[in-house]
Amino acid sequence: MREPTDPAEPLQASDAVASIDPSATSEAVPVVEAAAPQGFGALTRRGILSTAGAALAGGALLLRGARAEAQPASPSRPEAPKRASYAGAPPGMPHRDYQPVVVPNGTTLPWKLVDGVKVFHLVAEEVEHEFAPGLKALCWGYNGQVHGPTIEVVEGDRVRFYVTNRLSAPTTVHWHGILLPSGMDGVGGLNQKPIDPGETFRYEFTFRQSGMGMYHSHHDEMTQIAMGMVGLIVIHPRHPTGPKVDKDFALMLHEWRIDAGTRRPNPNEMTDFNMLTLNAKAFPATAPLVVRKGERVRIRLGNLGPMDHHPIHLHGYHFRVTETDAGRIPESAQWPETTVLVPVGSTRTVEFVADVPGDWAMHCHMTHHVMNQMGHAFPNVIGMKPGGLDAKVRKLLPGYMTMGQAGMGDMGEMGMPVPENSIPMSGGEGKHGYITMGGMFTVLKVREHTNGQEDPGWYENPPGTQATTATAAELQRDGIEVPKPS
């Protein structure tokens, strides 16, 4: 294993063997020096043990450690490590050792390989971010994005993260849920000095787990998390168990307070958040999850919002909860659900086979979390008949209109004048009219024919499978009497 370098040692670009764009197709997988034999990722540890050690140049150290675990140590061998060691495991490569995740509305952080270590660079900086058409805000994120790009690695990967601070305030990065040395844990003041504006810090460790983690600032958390400084970490298993999935989506849940007409999230908010997002987008700006009928789908959900748990509900399917932030749940302990609660500071992963075509809603089931910039000071006027009230009030307040007698559903499409840079209560157009939801809402689009990437448009329901107005003949046939309005 390469020794950690001096923090002052600059990154040598010439050391790089290959730069990796994780979104590249399988043809683009670069050849890496001293790469392990193809198919290494598919071998089990038992398989490795029964393989001639000499053939596994890159895995020699792993072999030694693993064999020492299985056999009593002899004087001619070094002492076996007490815990599983990945030393010498070759870096996991996209399309060989793992199928890259899909990050709707987001990206995956590129990396390069330097002497067998995956080297990443995060730049903490202010970012102008568009939550949905009509609403932009100055947030804090990483590498020009809110949230930061998803970090994707393989169990056993040695990684080096350079973190450059281009904010006006000190920051740190904490690797949430990740097993690592204390000095790399990123809590400002406790584990390290905060990274001052203009400074670059180095974090280095080996991922010795699989599952899903997250990263976020651990300095002035209330401000920096509320401003958006969070991201996802996907750690693919070195030896996967369970059925292989065809689509692997990663979504970060978050909440914000952005008052209508303002240009920055308000980090002082304690309870009353009014923007709820998936990968920092509010419906109708959330990209749909597009899959082909029959594909096995995994959806990873992380929640680093300030205060709220999110019960994420998927229509049309029963899924299995297969992972928490501490790793894969044994198959015998996985449970079926249609809603999974994702608590603050946690990740949950679900899997299912997408065998029914259609447009299927997926959303937080807390009703206030599917409304954008809703005000909570509205009087309850459900069922109220304003009569001549509006005309009277308009003498004092021109343009006044009593709203909400039939609920909030119509407000988004009324075309009412709204404050600049705001999307109050808006939802989005659907195939059959206005979808009265915003915020933490997206659509799973399952199709017989799709390239699996581009939005295929709205689903055309086959004849006889579409809810429609009941005819008088149908009502009569089935003996249904509709009460007359009183």
Cis peptide before 236 (omega within 30 of 0): no
What is the DSSP secondary-structure string of 297-340? EEEEEEE--SS--EEEEESS--EEEEEETTEEPPGGG-EEESEE
H or E element in which residue 225 lies: helix 221-226
- Contacts with Cu ion in 409-438 (CB under 5 A)? none
Q: Of 17 and 366, which has the nearer Cβ to Cu ion?
A: 366
Which stretch in 50-58, 165-173, 361-369, 421-429 sits in contact with Cu ion by CB under 5 A? 361-369
* Least distance in angstroms from the C-beta of 232 to Cu ion: 17
Backbone angles phi, psi at 147, to 5 degrees: -75, -175
Q: Out of 364, 374, 423, 435, name the contact with Cu ion by CB under 5 A.
A: 364
Which stretch in 21-29, 155-163, 304-312, 462-470 sits in contact with Cu ion by CB under 5 A? 304-312
Instruction: Scan for tokens 């063997």, then name that residue.
Output: 17
- Polymer length of the chain: 486
State yes or no: residue 363 binds Cu ion (CB under 5 A): no
Instruction: Scan for tokens 């928490």, then name that residue.
Output: 324
Instruction: Scan for tokens 């598919």, then name that residue.
Output: 42
> Which residue in 274, 455, 434, 301 sits closest to 370, CA to CA?
274
Q: Of 366 and 393, which has the nearer Cβ to Cu ion?
A: 366
State yes or no: residue 184 binds Cu ion (CB under 5 A): no
* Least distance in angstroms from the C-beta of 307 to Cu ion: 10
Burial 217-236 (b: 16+ CB within 10 A, else e): bbbbbebbbbbbbbbbbbbb
State yes or no: residue 366 binds Cu ion (CB under 5 A): yes
State yes or no: residue 310 binds Cu ion (CB under 5 A): yes
Q: Of 56 and 275, which has the nearer Cβ to Cu ion?
A: 275
State yes or no: residue 369 binds Cu ion (CB under 5 A): yes
Q: Of 36 and 304, which has the nearer Cβ to Cu ion?
A: 304
Q: Of 178 and 214, which has the nearer Cβ to Cu ion?
A: 214
Instruction: Scan for tokens 């401000």, then name that residue.
Output: 223
Q: Of 307 and 389, which has the nearer Cβ to Cu ion?
A: 307
> CA 442 to CA 422: how far, in whole Å?
20
- In the three-class reduction of DSSP (H, G, I as helix; E, B as strand; rest coil), residue 347 is classed as strand
* Least distance in angstroms from the C-beta of 278 to Cu ion: 10
For 18, half-sphere exposure in the C-beta direction (CA atoms, 13 angstrom radius) is 15
State yes or no: residue 348 binds Cu ion (CB under 5 A): no
Which stretch in 59-67, 96-104, 327-335, 360-368 sits in contact with Cu ion by CB under 5 A? 360-368
* Least distance in angstroms from the C-beta of 276 to Cu ion: 6
Q: Of 250 and 278, which has the nearer Cβ to Cu ion?
A: 278
State yes or no: residue 361 binds Cu ion (CB under 5 A): no
Which stretch in 86-94, 305-313, 426-434, 450-458 sits in contact with Cu ion by CB under 5 A? 305-313
Q: Of 341 and 381, which has the nearer Cβ to Cu ion?
A: 341
> CA 255 to CA 274: how far, in whole Å?
7
Interface size with Cu ion, residues (CB under 5 A): 4
Using an 8 Å Cβ cutoff, are 380 and 408 in contact? no
**Residues binding Cu ion (CB under 5 A):** 310, 364, 366, 369
